Structure 1
Amino acid sequence: MSDGEIHVLDLFAGTGGLTAGFHAGSARFRSVGAVEMDRAAAASYAASFPETPVSPGRIEDWLERGDLPKNVDVVVGGPPCQGFSTLGRQDAEDERNTLWRQYARTLVLTQPKYFVVENVAAFARSPQYLDFVAETGPTGSLRDYAFQHRILNAADYGSPQLRKRAVLIGYHRDLEFPGFPEPTHAAEPTLNGLKPYVTVGQALKGVPLEPDKDDVRDRVTHFHSIPMPGEFSPRDLHWSRTYTMLSRNRFANIPEGGNRFDLPADLLAPCWVKHKTGSGDVMGRLRSDRPSVTIRTEFFKPEKGRYIHPKADRAITHYEAALLQGFPTEHRFIGNRGEIARQIGNAVPIPLGAAIARQLAKQF
Structure 2
Amino acid sequence: MPKPLTFIDAFAGCGGLSLGLMQAGLTGRFAVEHDSFAFATLKANLLAKQAPFKYSWPRWLPKEPLGIATLLSDYSEQLAALSGSIDVLVGGPPCQGFSMAGRRQHDDPRNQLFAQYLRLVEIVRPKIVLIENVRGFTMDFAVGENVTNYAAALKEVLSDDYEVHERLLDLSQFGVPQARTRYFVIAVHVSVTTADPFVLLESRIPSFLRSLGISAPVSSSNAISDLEVSRCGTEPSKDTKGFDQIAYGQPLTRYQKLMNTGVTPSDLRLARHAEDIAQRFQEIINISHAEGRLNISISNEVRERFGLKKKALRVLDPDRPSPTITSMPDDLLHYSEPRTLTVRENARLQSFPDWYSFQGKYTTGGHLRKKEVPRFTQVANAVPPLVARAIGEMLVALMAEATKAPAFRSEQSGLQRVHKDAEVFAEA
Change (3 A) 1:211 1:262: farther
Residue of structure 2 equivalent to 1:151: 168
What is the SS of the residue equivalent to 1:206? helix
How many residues end up aligned between the 2 structures?
Answer: 321
Output the CA distance in 2 between the equivalents of 1:351 and 1:107: 25
Change (3 A) 1:156 1:247: same
Residue of structure 2 equivalent to 1:252: 282
Residue of structure 1 equivalent to 2:40: 43
Contact 2:8 2:31 in 1 (8 A): yes
1:89 aligns with 2:103: yes
Question: Deviation digits for residues 252-278 of structure 1, max 9, x if unmatched?
Answer: 112345463397688521648xxxxxx
What is the SS of the residue equivalent to 2:277? helix
Task: Show the 5 A alignment for 1:270-309.
Answer: 271=309, 282-298=312-328, 300-301=329-330, 304=331, 307-309=332-334
Contact 1:234 1:333 in 2 (8 A): no
Contact 2:165 2:196 in 1 (8 A): no
How far off its partner does 1:350 sit?
Answer: 1.4
Contact 2:88 2:126 in 1 (8 A): yes
Residue of structure 1 equivalent to 2:122: 108
Contact 2:90 2:129 in 1 (8 A): yes
Task: Show the 5 A alignment for 1:187-226.
Answer: 195-209=215-229, 210=233, 212=235, 214-217=237-240
How far off its partner does 1:178 sit?
Answer: 4.7
Contact 2:173 2:216 in 1 (8 A): no
Question: Which letter maps to 1:16?
Answer: G
Residue of structure 1 equivalent to 2:13: 14
Task: Show the 5 A alignment for 1:210-359.
Answer: 210=233, 212=235, 214-217=237-240, 235-253=265-283, 254-255=285-286, 256=289, 257-258=293-294, 260-261=298-299, 267-269=305-307, 271=309, 282-298=312-328, 300-301=329-330, 304=331, 307-338=332-363, 339-359=374-394
Residue of structure 2 equivalent to 1:228: none
Residue of structure 2 equivalent to 1:229: none
1:128 aligns with 2:150: yes
- Compute the TM-score of the two structures, normalised by the length of structure 1: 0.81
Provide structure 2 residue ranges, at least 5 long, that are not aligned to the other structure.
48-53, 58-62, 141-148, 207-213, 242-262, 364-373, 401-428
Name whichever of 201-210 and 107-116 sits farther off: 201-210
Question: Deviation digits for residues 208-238 of structure 1, max 9, x if unmatched?
Answer: 42554613336xxxxxxxxxxxxxx982211
How far off its partner does 1:244 sit?
Answer: 2.8
Output the CA distance in 2 between the equivalents of 1:265 and 1:12: 37
How far off its partner does 1:172 sit?
Answer: 0.6
Question: Deviation digits for residues 71-103 of structure 1, max 9, x if unmatched?
Answer: 211111101011122222222211111211111
Residue of structure 2 equivalent to 1:190: none
Provide structure 1 residue ranges, at least 5 long, that are not aligned to the other structure.
138-142, 186-193, 219-232, 273-278
CA-based RMSD of the aligned residues comes to 2.5
Q: Structure 2 residue aligned with 1:61, among 55, 70, 76?
A: 70
Change (3 A) 1:342 1:132: same
How far off its partner does 1:167 sit?
Answer: 0.4
Residue of structure 2 equivalent to 1:179: 197
Contact 2:265 2:355 in 1 (8 A): no
1:30 aligns with 2:53: no
Residue of structure 1 equivalent to 2:410: none
How far off its partner does 1:57 sit?
Answer: 2.2
Residue of structure 2 equivalent to 1:167: 184
